[in-house]
Amino acid sequence: MVEPDSSGYIRHGTAAFRRTNLALFAAGVATFGLLYCTQPLMPEFSKDYGVSAATSALSLSLTTGVLAFAMLFAGGVSDAVGRKSVMTASLLSSAVLVLLTALVPDWNTLLVLRALLGLTLSGLPAVAMTYLSEEMHPESIGLGMGLYISGNAIGGMGGRLVAGVLADFVGWRWGVATVGLIGLVSGLVFWRSLPPSRHHVRHPLQLRTLVGRFALAFRDAGLPWLFAEGFLLLGAFVTVYNYIGYRLLAPPYDLGQAVVGAIFSVYLIGTFSSAWMGHLAGKLGRRKVLWTAFALMLLGVGLTVSRPLPLVVLGIVAVTFGFFGGHSIASSWVGRRAGDAKAQASSMYLFAYYMGSSLAGAGGGVFYASYGWNGVAAFVAILVLAGLLVAWRLYYLPPLPGPPSPGTEPPIPQ
């Protein structure tokens, strides 16, 4: 049996920490592989189904839009049913839906399944953040959240890479089916590895209580700003990845689908940046590190406008590095500030996060249709600049009230 340390919380360096991170790494691989496997296939959908770039983007935007709303209730359901059971059911049912997506005969059916995927996937991201906030020691949560988000990066990269490369050789359906099978295996690893909750007390799902906990999250001076950062982070990031494939498949590059899919492997940089920046923020303070993530993303967006392919790829790397680092910092900060409303604060952060993907990801198609890649880059730059301003506002955020009790450990920097 895996035990946490004597304080009852999971610390890095323990067997409980290793098992927790194996489980949540597998969950991140599955969740983001299943969610984003259609992103490199959008040009394929445009060809097969005769739809525009903006319409093809609905295969992702519709999923993230449903996911955003469903996650508002996922935390409350996990309060009543239990964290691990909700996350396990979410992973396994989502993998089955992606397997079915590989068999659909028409565009409308594909969109229906992708919308259902948003509903089933909602049981994992917000609940995983809550689980980490409840079970991890404060000194370890930054690293734990960073490692979980590293799994997200592996999944997002793997889903894009597998689907994109296989689409070139055996067709997009085989690519999607392969991602679905990987998700199924990851769900089983998660179920077997995750230690049960030790600090969660179940309570019935009551609408009035749920609304009160959401209201509590908005009384905090910092949480609404962190929700805004989630919207801007993923909105900018997804817009770049949604439409950069169209640019690279067209002149002057004329790259193949497999090569574009391989370029998306730069997503792997997120496995390093999320853990490294999360750990750095835990040492120096989140307010001192968050703004650098947006500055790096802004630099990356500027590089993607250049003509030489190596500079475009370097720009994608910079955007990816900054995004994962910023998300790691902001999401762990939400858990630190949420108090008794951790599940609802996590749900609200991820609601804003995925609404950014849905709204900005679809809106970027309008800019692409009217102004090409330069229009998309300008749109993303506005989102990133807004995020930089919010990070500057958070820099002056008052720390959490209350000095540490005698004999307790000093607070972790914010």
pLDDT along the chain (414 residues), means of 10: 56 80 87 89 89 89 90 77 87 96 93 95 83 76 73 78 85 93 93 79 64 71 92 95 90 87 78 80 83 96 95 95 92 78 78 91 91 96 97 83 38 36
Residue with tokens 């990845």: 241
Q: Which of 240, 254, 257 is nearest to 45 (CA)?
A: 257
Question: In a 3-state reduction of DSSP, which class is residue 232?
Answer: helix
Domain boundaries, given as residue ranges, for the chain: 15-192+213-395
Q: What is the pLDDT of residue 212?
A: 65
List the end-to-end C-alpha distance of the chain, in Å, as a whole number.
34
Residue with tokens 């009543």: 80
Give CA–CA dist 138/149, Å, rounded.
Answer: 17
Contact 43, 257 (CB under 8 A): yes
DSSP 282-333: HHH-HHHHHHHHHHHHHHHHHHHTSSSHHHHHHHHHHHHHHHHHHHHHHHHH
Q: What is the pLDDT of residue 400?
A: 61
Residue with tokens 């900018």: 236
Total residue count of the chain as it appears in this document: 414
| Neighbour tally for 252: CB within 10 Å | 7
Residue with tokens 């049912």: 93
How far CA 148 is from CA of 32, 266, 357, in Å, comes to 11, 18, 20
φ and ψ at 102, to 5 degrees? -65, -15
DSSP 134-160: HHB-HHHHHHHHHHHHHHHHHHHHHHH
**Number of helices and strands (H, E) in the chain?**
16, 0
Q: What is the pLDDT of residue 72?
A: 80
Q: What is the pLDDT of residue 13?
A: 72
Work out the angle between the directed axes of helices 342-395 and 286-304 (0-180°, nearest 10).
Answer: 80
Residue with tokens 């409303």: 341
Contact 235, 379 (CB under 8 A): no
Distant-in-sequence, close-in-space partners of 72: CB < 8 Å, separation ≥ 6: 214, 347, 348, 351
Domain at 15-192+213-395: CATH code:
1.20.1250.20
